[in-house]
Structure 1
């Protein structure tokens, strides 16, 4: 299922961090700088804004390291056990909800520190944001909206296979065949998501423009940003919300089917990876020097 901009950032960062246990600690320790430059790429912070944003990002990671990483480690400990067992669609969906709750918590904690910087955004910076969205949309079209349905399906199969192999290692021929069938049967609609994506981008720009041009308190700014994030998580458009639920249900069922097809060796590999990541998260959480 496609996710919002904020959620994509966090999920993408987690995938990067988990790419190898030896790289996880290095990547996490560098994450404050990486996050600042990611944000800067969207709005091009001024000399006055930059120190405040850097300070907010560093403070957020200190909170995240001490309070969230132990929770992630505990979650991975649970995953390590369950990955060796048969899992139902309901269990898969529960894991999806667990991850969503943690993303929500992370974003909610970031909003208060960034509210002041949001109110200081200029018209030029908002135009920069719009251009960044346009560039991202061109990338999305190249990756998801190929000229033929066959090309789109092949690209999606490749993406889903890479995600599966990220955890379980190389898939065999039978697993790849079932994966391709599942992708073909999926209700995922790249064009529908693209239309929703552009509406959300417009909502972001309009909200930030209002917050940066109208007299508004810090509490009102935070409330508006939280509402904006909620609209990105759950669309205000009923038809799209219904689509999101259909897609989530399908993805949970499909993931459970693919897990059922995994071999004992693949499950042991996934469990080993979870254990290594769990240990790294505990080690990072214990490092209070940063």
Structure 2
């Protein structure tokens, strides 16, 4: 997550598929990793209802406000430092959600059985094989070309057709992005091993387990290799600078296009009505 606009597209996809179904999707995805028995599913349903209600009430307004602020920043022309602060804000919002999810869903997966752990590790290995196929085996030139195509497509979704000079700037950005595929795979495996080890523990009190799970999702960099951490930070710097450079070259037509897209997505988020829950008066 090293660019603003691709992240906006992810949010857009969430709205399009139906935010009201998000808790059911999370339950389905969770069971792809840690299969639950009937008792586990019975505990998961109210936990997800609480999480969904909290997220709807507190996070959707924050995302809409962030969209409007970041969009206005890009529209009037910005610099890398200000854009980097917007990235910080977005990461902080994601961290809040990860922390809340750890507190709500953590008790459901604590003390996983050997069968659940085996299923989790099989899923991790499947994901790692996909990662190798997508990011390790392809030649560097192919990865660079595909990266440039994705960036160009996503940017044009948000600001309209790019000029030749703007396309050249995006292609330079794509060329300069570091792809530490080996370090990426090692970092994934380190983090996955830490998750498996935590879920296997049966000696931790519930609050301690939730804190450890929260740290895994909020601070994954603790398990990255030094090379991957450097590449991540370098790529974030490249993203902020590239978006700043592009923001200074937007035409009036592109600014209007961007504003329409921001208004549409922020408006969709603001229009979502949260389901009432028993937690509404006690949780913030």
Give the TM-score band, short-chain normalised: 0.7 to 0.9
Given candidates 218, 226, 229, the residue that maps to 2:206 is: 218
How far residue 65 of structure 1 moved from its aligned partner, in angstroms, is 1.0
Structure-1 residue corresponding to 2:281: none
Structure-to-structure mapping, 1:18-57, within 5 angstroms: 18-19=12-13, 24=15, 27-57=18-48
Between 1:255-264 and 1:114-123, the stretch displaced more is: 255-264
2:102–2:213 CA contact under 8 A, matched in 1:
yes
Q: Does 1:129 align with 2:159?
A: no
Alpha-carbon distance change, 191 to 104 in structure 1, aligned in 2, over 3 angstroms: same
1:86–1:259 CA contact under 8 A, matched in 2:
yes
Q: Distance in 1 between matches of 2:156 and 2:45?
A: 36
**Where does the alignment leave 5 or more consecutive residues of structure 1 unmatched?**
4-10
What SS does the aligned partner of 2:138 have?
Answer: coil
Q: Distance in 2 between matches of 1:260 and 1:26?
A: 33
Structure-2 residue corresponding to 1:194: 185
Structure-1 residue corresponding to 2:239: 251
Structure-to-structure mapping, 1:106-145, within 5 angstroms: 106-145=97-136
The C-alpha deviation readout for 1:191-233, integer Å capped at 9, x for no partner, is 3222212221122212222x2xx32211111121123224414
How far residue 239 of structure 1 moved from its aligned partner, in angstroms, is 4.8
Structure 1 runs (4+) greater than 6 angstroms displaced: none
The C-alpha deviation readout for 1:146-171, integer Å capped at 9, x for no partner, is 43221121122222223323322343
1:83–1:271 CA contact under 8 A, matched in 2:
no
Structure-1 residue corresponding to 2:81: 90
Q: Does 1:176 align with 2:176?
A: no
How far residue 130 of structure 1 moved from its aligned partner, in angstroms, is 1.2
Q: What is the TM-score normalised by the length of structure 1?
A: 0.84
Structure-2 residue corresponding to 1:281: 269
Structure 1 vs Structure 2 CA RMSD: 2.5
**How many residues get paired?**
275
Alpha-carbon distance change, 234 to 250 in structure 1, aligned in 2, over 3 angstroms: farther
